Structure 1
Amino acid sequence: MNLSESARAVFAVLAEAGTATRPQLAAGAGLSKPTVSSAVAELEAAGLAACSGTASGGTGRSAAVYGLGQAAGAVLAVDLGPSRTQVRGSALDGTLLAQGAGSRPDAAAVVCDVLAKLPEGAPLRTVVVAVGDVTVQAGEGERPATAKAGPAFDAMAVALPAGVPVHLENNVNCAALAELHQGAARGRDTFGYLRIGVGIGLGVVIGGQVLRGANHAAGEVARLPYPWDEDRQPRHEGLEAHLGARSLLRRASAAWCDGDGPRPRTVERLFALADGGHATAHAVVGHHAAEIGRLAAAATAVLDPGLMILGGDVGSNPQLLPGVRAELARLSWPTEVVSSALGDRGTVLGATELAVARGIQTVTEGVPVKH
């Protein structure tokens, strides 16, 4: 977009603030009031900013308040989860415009539904898709590195408008980013986000930045050698198979006694029984918590994060906290352990943050954006 440097700088400040007066834009962009006035006029002419009202100052004078114009556009965030897809369409100031959810096979339909609800005439600036995989460069774009997300991603990609930039990010990294700005890690700049569900993963935030690694594979704890002893060889992603939800239910079934009643068929039922005082269910959950605590201790030994957040369909259950804390304290140095504050919304919220930042950059053309 052919904007002056001052207009791009003012747009970046306005997108971050949502609404602002000219003095506020001048202070945020570090520009003189005449320069800001010229920049605002340029943005209004391009439809990127619009006057949204007035505000009274302490001296009794009123000042025009500006917000983003329709031409600023929108962004799309997609959480392509293992069983459920969540989609959010947002303005470049982060305002939610539309959202939807459905099963993973219905991802394309959910995307189409949210796109149809976005304001008419607002250009789609970018799309961020969170996948449960490592991403790689393939041809002119990004793709999941394995078949974990491939088929579902391909089906969903067909529903996206042609020519709109699509960026992939690991789902655990997205959730960690959301916890940093909106969740349990607010006020902290270094922590680990440990997701336990159907699979396992670790989001690593150091100095306020998500650690991605040379292969975009930082935090892929599924690849930790397991089992690791003298008599057995480690299996490929053996730790994920051991700590995942399916294995938890198999262990619960194996531990069930004749007088325990029907075996739980879902993790939710297992935790409900444990919470209600069912002895076998409580023991199974306690053992699982200890094993998660050992994984947390391994991560802590390498990262020393100071804070470990437990997330995922299984990991976010507060019944796990005492056991994880106890095992981590037994094996490592003091580390705070808390449950996710965002639950299953974390991934799509983090993907939205990334989409908004990238969307702003399509307008500002490289002007630094805070995120």
Structure 2
Amino acid sequence: MATTTTAPLTESAGEVFAQLARLNRATRPQLAAACALSKPTVSSAMAELESAGLVARDGTAHGSTGRSAAVYRLAADAGYVLAVDRGHTQVSFRAIALDGTVLDEGQSTRLDRAWSMLAAARRRRTADGPLRRAVVAVSDVVLPDPAADPETARRVADAVESLRLPGQVPVAVENNVNCAAIAELHDGDGSGEGPGGRDTFVYLQVGVGIGAGIVIGRRLLRGRNGAAGEVARLAYPWADGREPGHEALEARIGSPGLMLQVSGAWRADDGPLPADPEAVFALAAEGHPRAAALVARHAAEVGKLAVSLTAVLDPGLVILGGGVGRNPLLTAGVAETLARLGWPTKLEVSRLGEHATVLGAAHLAREHGINAVVTGA
């Protein structure tokens, strides 16, 4: 595995390189149109990129007039990037070329196994040029100023260090729910700008913990402290005679809170106590009265959280994700509560599944990698 820094590209070569990375394959006329540059400027830029070993010819395209044009793609020396989801229960990764081609991927519930897979993936990438950047998604707030909360900063640093990535690889860190929101922006159903697109939405993750990724005008909202969307910190409960607790809302709506409610409500004639949320939802789907009632109550609680988000942000679209949030049995109750108490809001269930976070991290890693080539960083 190699890492490298190179001389920065000229402005026009940088534009052409970034556009070719997005298009995957293109001719010079196509690049000229995409970059709004003249053909001579693109020709000069391509000469610079070819000389640096960053682009390579990849066949010929024939037009309707009979003329042919060389097709270009990124060369191996353009390099690749690494995206890692350092979750609570498993580690997932993807190695991606700068044009978006997936080169390698894997996941494991064991950290030592994840170490082996990451090391093996790096060894296999020796023919794919330098590793430009890595992005690690963590289940914590990523602080712009670590000194503002040393304990949180330490947890984030420990999560990254636990992966044993090579010290010479520049690493960027992002919150896992924010990464999932970025994946929904780029890969979710109906992605794209304009009516019906996902230019403004809230991704609401409900699983072991709760969190929201907020996208406004196709831009991720991180907030002053990097904590935008940390809905676990909402004051809860907000009621006479009851004192709000630290992250009490997450303790109520997260999976551990759901299981506490189940264990408290379960009766001997209900059968064996379900071991986890999946078992509760499975029983509810089969028509088990107690399980169905608990799931309905939980859906209403999640719906109240969605209502609170729409009252502040009015996003027009809420996407449910996470191990619990994606369950279809949750949707009806959330939708009913949202329709009854909130502004008109479309509700969808994420179809990206457990891969949403690593997909979003891959998008960020590509952006960082392309910028590293353009700037020579």
TM-score with structure 2 setting the length: 0.91
Distance 1:232 1:83 in 2: 33
Contact 1:81 1:104 in 2 (8 A): no
> Do residues 207 (structure 1) and 207 (structure 2) align?
no
Following superposition, the deviation at residue 164 of structure 1 comes to 2.1
Per the alignment, in what secondary structure is the counterpart of residue 281 of structure 2?
A: helix
Most deviating of 100-109 and 308-317: 100-109
Structure 1 residue runs without a partner (length 5+): 367-371
Per-residue CA distance 1:37-86 (angstroms, 9 max, x = gap): 22212211211000011111111222111000011000001111111111
Among candidates 23, 43, 49, match of residue 49 of structure 2 = 43
Among candidates 15, 27, 31, match of residue 21 of structure 2 = 15
Most deviating of 210-219 and 7-16: 7-16
Per-residue CA distance 1:273-317 (angstroms, 9 max, x = gap): 111111111111111000000011111110111111100011011
Following superposition, the deviation at residue 188 of structure 1 comes to 2.3
Among candidates 13, 36, 39, match of residue 33 of structure 1 = 39
1:86-101 aligned at under 5 Å gives the runs 86-101=92-107
Q: In structure 1, give the amino acid aligned to 2:158.
A: P
Per the alignment, in what secondary structure is the counterpart of residue 94 of structure 1?
A: coil
For these two proteins, the number of residue pairs brought into alignment is 363
* Corresponding residue for residue 310 of structure 1: 320
Distance 1:348 1:112 in 2: 18
Per the alignment, in what secondary structure is the counterpart of residue 201 of structure 1?
A: strand
> Do residues 198 (structure 1) and 211 (structure 2) align?
no
* Corresponding residue for residue 357 of structure 2: 347
Q: In structure 1, give the amino acid aligned to 2:306.
A: A
* Corresponding residue for residue 82 of structure 1: 88
Most deviating of 131-140 and 310-319: 131-140
* Corresponding residue for residue 4 of structure 2: none
Per the alignment, in what secondary structure is the counterpart of residue 51 of structure 1?
A: strand
Q: In structure 1, give the amino acid aligned to 2:206.
A: I
Following superposition, the deviation at residue 177 of structure 1 comes to 0.9
> Do residues 110 (structure 1) and 117 (structure 2) align?
yes
Contact 1:126 1:165 in 2 (8 A): yes
> Do residues 123 (structure 1) and 130 (structure 2) align?
yes
Q: In structure 1, give the amino acid aligned to 2:125.
A: L
Following superposition, the deviation at residue 102 of structure 1 comes to 0.8
Per-residue CA distance 1:254-291 (angstroms, 9 max, x = gap): 22222222111021111111111111111111110000
* Corresponding residue for residue 62 of structure 2: 56
Distance 2:155 2:282 in 1: 30
1:274-289 aligned at under 5 Å gives the runs 274-289=284-299
> Do residues 233 (structure 1) and 243 (structure 2) align?
yes
Among candidates 170, 180, 192, match of residue 175 of structure 2 = 170
* Corresponding residue for residue 158 of structure 2: 151
Contact 1:132 1:148 in 2 (8 A): no
* Corresponding residue for residue 369 of structure 1: none
Segments of 4+ moved more than 4 angstroms: 137-140, 146-150
Contact 2:144 2:226 in 1 (8 A): no
Per the alignment, in what secondary structure is the counterpart of residue 162 of structure 1?
A: coil
Per-residue CA distance 1:79-131 (angstroms, 9 max, x = gap): 11111111000011111011110125334333223222324351111111111
Contact 1:202 1:220 in 2 (8 A): yes
TM-score with structure 1 setting the length: 0.93
The Cα RMSD (Å) is: 2.0
Most deviating of 314-323 and 225-234: 225-234
* Corresponding residue for residue 254 of structure 2: 244
Q: In structure 2, give the amino acid aligned to 1:197.
A: G
Distance 2:176 2:246 in 1: 21
Distance 1:23 1:343 in 2: 39
Contact 1:26 1:33 in 2 (8 A): yes
Distance 2:334 2:89 in 1: 26
Per-residue CA distance 1:199-241 (angstroms, 9 max, x = gap): 0001111111110000111000000011222222111111111
Contact 2:60 2:68 in 1 (8 A): yes
> Do residues 216 (structure 1) and 221 (structure 2) align?
no
Among candidates 156, 161, 166, match of residue 161 of structure 1 = 166
Contact 1:297 1:331 in 2 (8 A): yes
Contact 1:100 1:113 in 2 (8 A): no
Contact 2:144 2:225 in 1 (8 A): no
Following superposition, the deviation at residue 181 of structure 1 comes to 1.4
Following superposition, the deviation at residue 152 of structure 1 comes to 3.3
Contact 2:146 2:153 in 1 (8 A): no
* Corresponding residue for residue 254 of structure 1: 264
Per the alignment, in what secondary structure is the counterpart of residue 362 of structure 1?
A: helix
Most deviating of 325-334 and 351-360: 325-334
Q: For residues 138 and 305 of structure 1, do their structure 2 counterparts lie closer, same or farther at Cα, with a shift above 3 Å needed?
A: closer
> Do residues 183 (structure 1) and 188 (structure 2) align?
yes
